[in-house]
Structure 1
Amino acid sequence: MNEVKWGIIGCGDVTEVKSGPAFDKVENSSLVAVMRRNGEKAKDYAERHGVPKWYDNAEDLIHDPDVNAIYIATPPSNHRDYTIEAAKAGKPVYVEKPMARNVEECSEMITYCKEKEVPLYVAFYRRALPRFLKVKELLDKGEIGEIRFVTSRHSKPLMEKDENGEWPWRVQPEISGGGLFYDLASHTLDLLDFLISPIEEVKGFAANQAGAYPAEDMVSGNYKFENGVIGNGVWSFSSYKDEDINRIEGTKGVITFSTFDHTPIKLENDSGLQEFNIEHPKHIQEGLIQKIVDELLGKGTSPSTGESAQRTNWVMDEMVKEYYKKG
């Protein structure tokens, strides 16, 4: 393989700016085909983005001989099946986050891709963003000494129904795996796996406080990382206002940063308070896509894989399992 020629399954909103255009901007990469079940929308996307081919059937895209790698940008309920179909065709897979609806589906995807000797990557692109690489640099340089604990707090007002009076798929567990916790907290939990170490023990509590939809809208949890760091988090999606903050405290200082907001990274230690303003690139997945392409061409390593993403699914599953047992 001298060039990675991508096909997208599910060219919805996430592909408009965050990911789709990046496939053509990355070195040794191009976007050659897109698929959406609504053929008119697939055609419109292809025409607007200058993509040579479009399909309304995923199987046709997967078996297109000009496509040698598949990006799955559908809701999680389709991730496992499309991953298996792409692996059957011997094509590397890049799948949106969360990796799947539950850790069992993740395991099936990993196992099948290994059997077919097909690489599997997941779109936890914060692992390749300059903003969070700066946080990792500060931690690795010992700017806060030995890490002792981490806290995360994320709240949002209750979301609204769509224009058809329906709740979006992100709060339909049969499609998404859970509520907004699966959609948003997955980024934070995967980022902590990257910055600190994998989580090895989890205890969580989930509830539906607003009673607006079947999925949980409140999750809290405590966890222990493999390196002994202790963490806790609270995610509420029926609260007063938007709030998004992570705090990593060590023996010599503290780092504060947001997963989603564009507030500065703050480092406080004996040298005083420093702030780092690092903007995201326009196409936020570009850095990770470049690393994936480099790995596929034998020139580097991707920081986000099926195995690392499965760990995040496991943590989330553990935190909400009692809620869904009651359901």
Structure 2
Amino acid sequence: MTDKSTVNLALIGTGAWSGSVGDAMMKSDKVNLVTCFDPIPEKREAFSARFGCEHEESYEDVLKRDDIDGLHLATPNHLHAQQTLLAAEHGKHVFVEKPIANTIADGKKMIEACLKAGVVLMVGQHLRRLTGIRKLKELIDAGTIGSPIQIEGNYSQNLGFALTPESFRWRGDDTGCPAGSLMTMGIHHADVFNYLFGPIKTVFSYFNKLYIPAPVEDVTTTVFQYETGVLGYLGSNYASPKAVWFYVYGTEANLLCTITPPELPFEEYLLWWQQVDQDTDVQIFEKGKTGSTKVPLTLGNPILEEIDEFADCILTGTPPETDGEGALSALSFIRAAIESSQTGRQAMLAV
């Protein structure tokens, strides 16, 4: 805990997503973006100039700074564990973008290191923060749908055609981005599935590589079962036009949440995620009634919300909503799907 009213942060990794993060930090009354680091000098210098922060020549230089309270890691998946462990050793709080890591073992190391060091570990699973998803949770918990039966979802877009075989990040193994779109996008749905209905027990998955040039699967289909017996489906691909939706089935009503991403240049599209609520729609289909009723939603900013929550956790010692354990559960879904796709058998979740 601290008696300060704001926290000083450093952004690590100034790739495409950093523009949205930096923009949200500028809107926050709780954080000061002090410095940044990226191994590519031109990228960190451009980010520094854009957002008026300093930049460092190495990750170690960031860690040595006594004026930095926490780090926001927007780096490749396979670097998350090493960077988090070093941050914890230096007493720095950590916000890491999803997934927590590529492997369960690395995720557990991160949780243990931050717990031992007494620093916050928060993971950027922002999809649950959309007001549409919050409304689904509210209606489910209020008993509006009756008893839950089934849930379905899909998170896809044709980003895969822009990926190239030489892009190191997109190798389909643990040094890159295993499971492709399922790890990159579908892990948000896995987190929301846990958020809405609790622990998932088993999955059965098919992965195929059909169209994109990068050496990673571009279409995945996963069916799964909750511990309660509720069943579900998750689809994710890198080849179709954008699709982001959830369908919840209950004995008294069904709920449909549709998110409609606009067609924008990629950097503008990433900035749009701060205004995603304006393009989110929730409908309820009630038993005995024809058609659906649109559910009113408020407007928020899920990226700013999680940045402000990270600051609050640092300032007050309050645990984050999207903590390491929750992120490990979402990652466990992806790892079980990978196992199932390789063995052709149902797989149990490890966490």
The structure 2 residue matched to 1:43, chosen from 41, 45, 56, is 45
Determine the structure 2 residue equivalent to 1:319. Answer: 337
Determine the structure 1 residue equivalent to 2:269. Answer: none
CA contact (8 A) 1:244 1:260 kept: yes
CA-to-partner distance for each residue in 1:23-44, whole Å, 9 max, x for gaps? 3433332111111112232122
SS in 1 for 2:108: helix
Determine the structure 2 residue equivalent to 1:29. Answer: 31
Determine the structure 1 residue equivalent to 2:305. Answer: 287
CA-to-partner distance for each residue in 1:260-301, whole Å, 9 max, x for gaps? 6434111111466222464765x6411112222222222754
SS in 1 for 2:305: helix
CA-to-partner distance for each residue in 1:153-205, whole Å, 9 max, x for gaps? 3444472245x874472454322233121101011111111122121222223
**Residues 10 and 224 of structure 1: CA distance in aligned 2, closer, same or farther (over 3 Å):** same
Partner amino acid for 1:254?
N
Moved more, 53-62 or 208-217: 208-217
**Residues 132 and 242 of structure 1: CA distance in aligned 2, closer, same or farther (over 3 Å):** same
**Residues 314 and 287 of structure 1: CA distance in aligned 2, closer, same or farther (over 3 Å):** same
Determine the structure 1 residue equivalent to 2:286. Answer: 269
So what's the TM-score if we normalise by structure 1?
0.88
Determine the structure 2 residue equivalent to 1:249. Answer: 249
SS in 2 for 1:257: strand
CA contact (8 A) 2:172 2:217 kept: no
Shift, 1:58, TM fit: 0.8
Unpaired segments ≥5 residues, structure 2: 262-278, 345-351
Unpaired segments ≥5 residues, structure 1: none
Partner amino acid for 1:314?
S
Partner amino acid for 2:94?
V
**Residues 232 and 87 of structure 1: CA distance in aligned 2, closer, same or farther (over 3 Å):** same
SS in 2 for 1:275: strand
For 2:109 and 2:138, the matched residues in 1 are separated by 34
CA contact (8 A) 1:295 1:301 kept: yes
For 2:295 and 2:88, the matched residues in 1 are separated by 41
Determine the structure 2 residue equivalent to 1:218. Answer: 219
Moved more, 167-176 or 196-205: 167-176
Moved more, 194-203 or 83-92: 194-203
Partner amino acid for 2:17?
V
CA-to-partner distance for each residue in 1:75-95, whole Å, 9 max, x for gaps? 101111100110110111000
For 1:116 and 1:300, the matched residues in 2 are separated by 15
For 2:299 and 2:59, the matched residues in 1 are separated by 31
Moved more, 263-272 or 84-93: 263-272
Residue 16 in structure 1 maps to residue 33 in structure 2: no
Partner amino acid for 1:269?
E
For 2:135 and 2:151, the matched residues in 1 are separated by 17
SS in 1 for 2:216: coil
SS in 1 for 2:18: helix
SS in 1 for 2:22: coil
Residue 122 in structure 1 maps to residue 123 in structure 2: yes
Residue 5 in structure 1 maps to residue 8 in structure 2: yes
SS in 2 for 1:290: helix
For 1:298 and 1:158, the matched residues in 2 are separated by 39
**Residues 89 and 106 of structure 1: CA distance in aligned 2, closer, same or farther (over 3 Å):** same
1:73-222 paired onto structure 2 within 5 Å: 73-157=74-158, 159-161=160-162, 166-167=166-167, 169-170=169-170, 172-173=172-173, 174-210=175-211, 212-222=213-223
SS in 1 for 2:207: strand
For 1:44 and 1:303, the matched residues in 2 are separated by 32
Partner amino acid for 1:291?
E
Partner amino acid for 2:281?
P
**Residues 122 and 155 of structure 1: CA distance in aligned 2, closer, same or farther (over 3 Å):** closer
Moved more, 311-320 or 190-199: 190-199
Shift, 1:22, TM fit: 2.4
Instruction: Provide the aligned length of Structure 1 versus Structure 2.
Output: 321
Moved more, 131-140 or 306-315: 131-140
For 2:121 and 2:247, the matched residues in 1 are separated by 31
CA contact (8 A) 1:39 1:55 kept: no
Partner amino acid for 2:101?
A
Determine the structure 1 residue equivalent to 2:270. Answer: none
SS in 2 for 1:20: helix
CA-to-partner distance for each residue in 1:296-321, whole Å, 9 max, x for gaps? 22275421011100111111011112
Partner amino acid for 1:267?
I
So what's the TM-score if we normalise by structure 2?
0.83
